[in-house]
């Protein structure tokens, strides 16, 4: 089996090519999807209802694979900072959208609450930030931000009453504050407002990185997924 070509003219081409590669060939395609669904805690999918690349509606998925209320709260918390770094916010949220679209292909629908109940999204945040500290790949910050949203939307978040109140700011290390609000989230009844603050901190680090190794390597995760999936075939 050949390796994925990671160079495409548009993001849509890349998504469709990755979809076609991951699930191409009816038998291997069905087998891989069942593996992904099993890892995500989902039930088996009927072979007759299998999706084809030509049926993908990227724009519709971009709206459905998102929690608008959660992200609006994030925008409220750092409104002034976003205004001063508008292009970076667009870049960051576009990256979030694109990674969630890949998640749709690999794991299933964003709103499939049942499918996310066995996954530890909070630990994934910890793992991604730890990896970012080692290699500086800023895509890991985007993955961690998505997991903040997913933990709120379909993870173990208990209190989902978001507060659209005063703006948040901090002056010391982002690692310190991520650790602080992570502990507050776990020990404070899993309140979704702490997840909102954590996403805001991740975005600030994305704009003005403290990590001297910081750089965006958008293909890294795809290569990692490729290697892990190849071992399952």
Q: How far apart are CA 64 and CA 139, in angstroms?
A: 22
- Predicted model pTM: 0.74
Token pair 């003219």 is found at 9
Sign, Cα dihedral of 75, 110, 124, 140 = negative
Summarize the confidence of residues 192-203 as an average pLDDT: 96
The domain spans of the chain are: 11-230
pLDDT in tens, 27-84: 555 666 667 677 777 766 554 444 455 456 777 878 888 999 999 999 999 999 999 9
């Amino acid at each position: 089996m050949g390796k994925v070509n990671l160079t495409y003219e548009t993001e849509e081409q890349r998504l469709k090519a990755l979809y076609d590669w991951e699930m191409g060939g009816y038998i291997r395609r069905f087998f891989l999807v069942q593996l992904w669904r099993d890892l995500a805690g989902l039930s088996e999918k009927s072979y007759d209802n299998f999706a084809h690349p030509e049926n993908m509606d990227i724009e519709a998925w971009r709206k459905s694979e998102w929690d608008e209320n959660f992200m609006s709260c994030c925008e409220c918390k750092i409104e002034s900072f976003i205004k001063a770094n508008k292009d970076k916010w667009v870049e960051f949220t576009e990256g979030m959208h694109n990674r969630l679209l890949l998640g749709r292909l690999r794991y299933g629908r964003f709103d499939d609450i049942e499918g996310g109940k066995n996954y530890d999204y909070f630990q994934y945040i910890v793992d991604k930030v730890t990896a970012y500290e080692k290699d500086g790949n800023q895509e890991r910050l985007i993955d961690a931000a998505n997991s903040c949203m997913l933990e709120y939307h379909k993870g173990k978040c208990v209190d989902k009453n978001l507060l659209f109140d005063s703006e948040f700011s901090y002056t010391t290390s982002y690692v310190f504050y991520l650790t602080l609000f992570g502990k507050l989230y776990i020990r404070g009844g899993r309140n979704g407002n702490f997840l909102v603050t954590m996403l805001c901190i991740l975005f600030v680090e994305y704009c003005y990185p403290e990590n001297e190794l910081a750089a965006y390597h958008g293909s890294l995760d795809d290569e990692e997924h490729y290697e892990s999936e190849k071992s399952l075939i």
